[in-house]
């Protein structure tokens, strides 16, 4: 089983939503994704915190995905070792993670970098924003936009994983 590890700050909003979205999409009718599973962790997570209530509501109402049983986890060396790919929500998360676990450099990207197939800083024509902003403490509409941004990036991620698998 290939593990995709989503990483953010506290593992209660973005990475927990990304984990829920990826697993739901990959397990529901997407051929070729049966070898993948997603996990999530936070760089500064408080172990055991639940997913943010707004994140739970937005995924349940907008996508039919229940992440209410999610519990925050702080990233560990074993998570890094076991991950096929590590996808962070921001460039700062990526830089922090690689600073802590330099051995993870070659498999750590921001989610949007990996989904697009480009590293940030590469010469690119599109105006692709590399970071996924943190909705924590913001109104529900911001969580809805965050979930949509994650969904769009995860759809692209799944296409890329399928392409790589067929090579």
Select from 55, 117, 56 the least CA-distant residue to 85: 117
**Which three-class secondary structure state does DSSP give residue 160?**
helix
- Burial-class residue 81 by CB neighbours within 10 Å (0-12, 13-18, 19+): exposed
Taking the alpha carbons of 85, 86, 89, 91 in that order, is the dihedral positive or negative?
negative
Kindly list the catalytic residues.
8, 14, 134
SS (H, E, C) 102-117: HHHHHHEEEHHHHHHC
């Amino acid at each position: 089983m290939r593990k995709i590890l989503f990483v953010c700050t506290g593992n209660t909003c973005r990475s927990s939503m990304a984990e829920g979205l990826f697993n739901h999409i990959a397990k529901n009718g997407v051929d070729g994704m049966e070898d993948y599973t997603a996990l999530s962790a936070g760089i500064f997570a408080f172990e055991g915190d639940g997913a943010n209530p707004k994140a739970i509501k937005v995924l349940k109402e907008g996508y039919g995905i229940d992440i209410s049983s999610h519990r925050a986890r702080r990233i560990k060396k074993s998570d890094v070792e076991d991950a096929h790919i590590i996808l962070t929500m921001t460039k700062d998360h990526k830089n922090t993670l690689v600073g802590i676990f330099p051995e993870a450099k070659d498999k750590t990207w921001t989610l949007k970098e990996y989904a697009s197939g480009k590293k940030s800083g590469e010469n690119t024509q599109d105006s692709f924003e590399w970071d996924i902003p943190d909705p924590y403490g913001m109104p529900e509409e911001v969580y809805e936009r965050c979930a949509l941004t994650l969904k769009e990036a995860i759809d692209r991620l799944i296409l890329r994983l399928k392409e790589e698998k067929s090579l």
